[in-house]
Amino acid sequence: MSHAHRARRLAGLLAGVLLLVGTAAACGDSGSDTVAGTGSGSGSGKSSASSDAFPVTIKNKFGSTTIKSEPKRIVTIGLTDQDAVLALGKVPVATTEWLGGYKGAIGPWAQDKLGSSAAPTVLKDTGTGPQVEKIAALKPDLILALYSGLTKAQYQTLSKFAPVVAQPKEYNDYGIPWQQQTETIGKALGKADEAKTLVDGVEAKFTAAKAKYPVFAESSAVMATPYEGTFVYGSQDPRSRLLTDLGFSLPSGLDKVIGDSFGANISSERTDLLDQDVAVWIVPDTTTAVTKLHANKLYGDLNVVKQGCEVFIPETSDYGNAVSLSTVLSIPYVLDRLVPQLAAAVDGKTATKVEQPAS
């Protein structure tokens, strides 16, 4: 996906509110609790849920949703929700495009989970919200919108067709941790125990990295991107959570600057937020974009630059895409690449070069 395309997506996420498509306009505010069962479409599940897992009720930002029986036709409108579905042995009938470039919106870290199943239909969201008519035509029996900015009106409209598991109220939109995302989806699919096992497996990888590099727990870090200046990710963004899950601390006062969003552009007066033990940048490329960053004296004169404590991640590479998703499936792929870079950046030796991963 082009940098301009990703920038448009980022701008859409920053808006924090998705507009309602045509059919949603007729939807009244008649309550936020929904109850639904299995739809009439053919099944796409690859393994069965526990027989006593249903009915199950899951709370969300707008109320609660009850799923009466095992879902067979799952649509994901949460931009990263498909990975947890795949990890739990099911293939969605439809996903929602975010990064672009992947058939079915399934990244290389998740391809083996697709098996012999057909790739999901890919839905679009160009800033006007979910494609309601196309979703209805797919006859879903479960709609997942955990990593999303779903509005109440959209939630109510989509709930006419199937139970909708929307984002939790305790986090910012697009702020659900990957652990809760995985376990909530596991609960919705009747596979709570399997989901917990998956989470434990990935958390063990974080634990191993922290044990190998105890310096991480003694270091501060920040995740940023040169989007319309300098955009810094807050503590509730999955990208920043990669750093804190590895033991790093985020800049003091970061969330006060970010507000109730997943990230924000910072003014030149707050460039100090970037002067941490390591700065991780998601960049359009690792040549001209880096040169441009360093040419800015406010940033280029910081110790983090002078001491070579920077990590650069090409945003449209598989690596960059995996970082942006930060799911139960993409994180192991990320850690194999990110941990060695972070270790080089904080080893205390200015001469140590932070190498790009071989692939």
pLDDT of residue 321: 96
| Sign of the CA dihedral with 119 first, then 74, 156, and 176 last | negative
The reported pTM is: 0.86
Q: Which residue has the higher pLDDT, 201 or 12?
A: 201
Cα–Cα dist 334/170, whole Å: 26
| pLDDT score of 330 more than 90 | yes
Cα–Cα dist 257/275, whole Å: 15
| pLDDT score of 193 more than 80 | yes
| pLDDT score of 264 more than 80 | yes
| pLDDT score of 314 more than 90 | yes
pLDDT of residue 125: 83
Average pLDDT (175-189) is 97
Render pLDDT for 147-167 as a digit per residue (tens, 0 to 9): 999 999 999 999 999 999 999
Which residue intervals of the chain are DSSP H helices? 3-15, 82-87, 111-114, 132-137, 152-158, 178-188, 192-212, 238-245, 254-258, 288-295, 297-300, 303-306, 318-325, 330-345
Burial code (b: 16+ CB inside 10 Å, e: under 16) for 258-287 equals beebbbbebeeebbebbbbbbbbbbbbeee
pLDDT of residue 47: 64
Q: What percent of the chain has pLDDT over 70?
A: 86
Average pLDDT (119-143) is 94
Average pLDDT (233-262) is 93
Average pLDDT (65-81) is 97
Q: What percent of the chain has pLDDT over 90?
A: 79
Average pLDDT (125-139) is 92
Render pLDDT for 75-103 as a digit per residue (tens, 0 to 9): 999 999 999 999 999 999 999 999 888 99
pLDDT of residue 16: 36
pLDDT of residue 259: 85
Give the pLDDT band (50/70/90) at residue 33: low
| pLDDT score of 334 more than 80 | yes
Render pLDDT for 206-216 as a digit per residue (tens, 0 to 9): 999 999 999 99
C-alpha separations of 324 from 224, 235, 252, 327 in Å: 12, 14, 23, 9
pLDDT of residue 258: 87
pLDDT of residue 114: 94
DSSP string, 148-190: S---HHHHHHHTTTS-EEE--TTS-TT---HHHHHHHHHHHTT
| pLDDT score of 53 more than 60 | yes
